[in-house]
Structure 1
């Protein structure tokens, strides 16, 4: 099991938020589950750039943090579904606001990232 080298700073709400949301695909997972995608295979198809192992790891972290609940059905083949908890549902307005901020500032920010990609290929 991985052990952190530095202790988690929990001295303010922003640090708590960043600790829970730390992970490249967590917001996409939360949004996908909010949108009705509940099964791991469906999530993998929705986010094909992420490995199944990474998605499983981040799903487990979200379950541990109380953002998602996991239901395992007693059948063969094994069936697993994820659902947002009330705590997870409370993140949806934040994700919507964050997405809107990105759209509102796309014209300013997108050229910066395009320039970074061009410079990285040189």
Structure 2
């Protein structure tokens, strides 16, 4: 981003709205691996409550990031997958992943050098 742009020109907020939420990135990570049923998502994300999973899935569906398909069976079977819009998040999430790795390494080096300095 360049210095000659105003705050109104920054449209990062819509992307952050999609990703903001403690479990949304975990949900997306699992859906990048393929279509999942609700129970698969719940079992794969330790600590998430059913209520929170439902809330995040609804948010992602409203944002056109995931697709929810209900199959007419007893009991009803519900599957979630990424939409084309959701798939387009792949490169962004990969860049964030790579940045996170580098940042963690940088913080570890900083903490190590501080510990040596304090000794």
TM above 0.5, yes or no, is yes
Aligned residues: CA RMSD: 2.1
Is the contact between residue 72 and residue 80 of structure 1 (CA under 8 Å) also seen in structure 2?
Answer: yes
Which ranges of structure 1 fall in alignment gaps of 5 or more residues?
1-9, 113-122
Q: Which of 55, 58, 66 matches 2:56?
A: 58
Written as runs of structure 1 = structure 2, the 5 A alignment for 1:28-107 is 28-107=26-105
Q: Residues of 2 paired with 1:86 and 1:38: CA distance? A: 16
Change (3 A) 1:13 1:111: same
1:115 maps to which residue? none
Mean CA deviation greater in 67-76 or 27-36: 27-36
Q: Residues of 1 paired with 2:55 and 2:9: CA distance? A: 26
Which ranges of structure 2 fall in alignment gaps of 5 or more residues?
1-7, 111-119
SS for the counterpart of 1:66 is coil
Cα distance, 1:48 vs structure 2 = 1.4
2:18 maps to which residue? 20
Length-normalised TM-score, structure 1: 0.77
Q: How many residues of Structure 1 are paired with residues of Structure 2 in the alignment?
A: 104
Which has the larger Rg? 2
